[in-house]
Amino acid sequence: MTDNNRIVSFDDELLILVDNNDTVVGYNDKNACHNGNGILHRAFSVFIFNSKNELLIHQRSSHKRLWNLFWTNSCCSHPRKGESYEVATKRRVKEELGLTTRLMYLYKFQYQAKFGDKGSENELCSVFIGKSNNLPMVNPNEISDWRYISIHELNEELINYPDRYTPWFKMEWKTITEKYLDTIKNLNT
């Protein structure tokens, strides 16, 4: 069993600054990257499905600076200075969810979203999917609640309660359901 109660996210961790073409242009701490309108940096989102093709979603911790207590995809974070996406995604899935699973890259997109006067996301985000039937052992410093939800139920919730979900998740889910449902159905655990 892993210790999933430890603090795994730090305001001073160095994130990877990029241009619109994903060329590294420098590094800055996480706090600075999310101030004001944000500084463009690398990020990733992970979507983990079970064998019923239900998606593991989570409610962000109340301690999060941006979009606290909003529902979102299985795991989302940033590669740190010197980390590849492969290393960063595996690290974060383990730290947040206590899970280990093979991940597959789907696509990359850029977005910016402001969260009132608390700051902004300004990210070039790579999206990954994986499959696991193991129940998560969530880190309460990162996650307040979690559940598996069917694709149909999630689509209904996003229509009826869109303000409960993070902006990046809504953008990613739209692309996933339009282009990658067959890929999800063919994933192996």
Q: Which domain holds residue 97?
A: 14-185
Tokens of 113: 């979203």
Active site residue 76: yes
Instruction: Give the residue ranges of the chain where pLDDT is below 50.
Output: 1-2
What integer pLDDT is reported at residue 188 of this predicted model?
A: 73
What integer pLDDT is reported at residue 7 of this predicted model?
A: 62
Across the chain, the runs of DSSP E, i.e. the strands, are 14-18, 24-29, 41-49, 55-60, 71-72, 75-77, 103-114, 120-131, 143-149
5 domain-assigned: no
Domain of 149, CATH number, reads: 3.90.79.10
* Average pLDDT along the chain: 93
What integer pLDDT is reported at residue 152 of this predicted model?
A: 97
Q: What CA–CA distance (Å, rounded) separates 28 from 106?
A: 27
For the chain, the domain total comes to 1
**Of 75, 76, 142, 172, which residue is the catalytic one?**
76
61 domain-assigned: yes
179 domain-assigned: yes
Q: What CA–CA distance (Å, rounded) separates 11 from 77?
A: 13
What integer pLDDT is reported at residue 9 of this predicted model?
A: 64
6 domain-assigned: no
**Of 95, 123, 142, 172, which residue is the catalytic one?**
123
60 domain-assigned: yes
Structure pTM? 0.93
Measured in degrees and rounded to the nearest 5, phi and psi for residue 73 equal -65, 180
What integer pLDDT is reported at residue 2 of this predicted model?
A: 45
Long-range contacts of 6-10 (CB under 8 A, 24+ apart): 6/95, 6/139, 6/141, 7/141, 8/92, 8/95, 8/96, 8/139, 8/141, 8/142, 9/77, 9/141, 9/142
What integer pLDDT is reported at residue 187 of this predicted model?
A: 85
Active site residue 123: yes
2 domain-assigned: no
User: What percent of the chain is helix, strand and coil (3-state, nearest 5)?
Assistant: 25, 35, 40
Closest CA to 62 of 147, 120, 143: 143
